[in-house]
A and B are shown apart, each in its own frame.
Chain A
């Protein structure tokens, strides 16, 4: 079955530091890949996505590249801010024959950015 593995957290950084959160996946076929973000007390929001190999998703200074050869979708940001403190989830979506797409989530990585 499909699975997503994220680097263990929590991750604590100082403001303006470089961020990498690793994500690898196992899936059949050609899934779409996502990063969702969950701010304190809120639901998940889509941060970025990539639908095919070598696509780069980007939003709010975050980037991730769909690497089929390494089955990875690592999240990066060059300079984090305190407001980036949140839980980040990597996810994949694969088409099912009768049920449409289903999301499989990683465990989530808590990021704390200190001033």
Chain B
């Protein structure tokens, strides 16, 4: 079974721009979660989508948004980029069993200049 894939792997943007990151979950997984990883703040939960609905949301400003499609693929969007948005963005998928086990993709490294 193919793992979680994220595109692009690397991205460079400038302040004020917007960006869209994509995540394809493992086949059959209906839950997709997004995390931001930075040296200063560590791993922080952004949001989770399950069956096209946002099920959980972390403590991030409204500039961060996401969506999930009927095939479970997910995108996250960051508008009006700030320097502090530079981070590794990780996507994780889950079969949504009670064990809540998540499988992570390799991440998208976003650099904001």
A and B: partners?
A: no
Show the binding face of B for A, using Cβ within 8 Å.
Answer: none
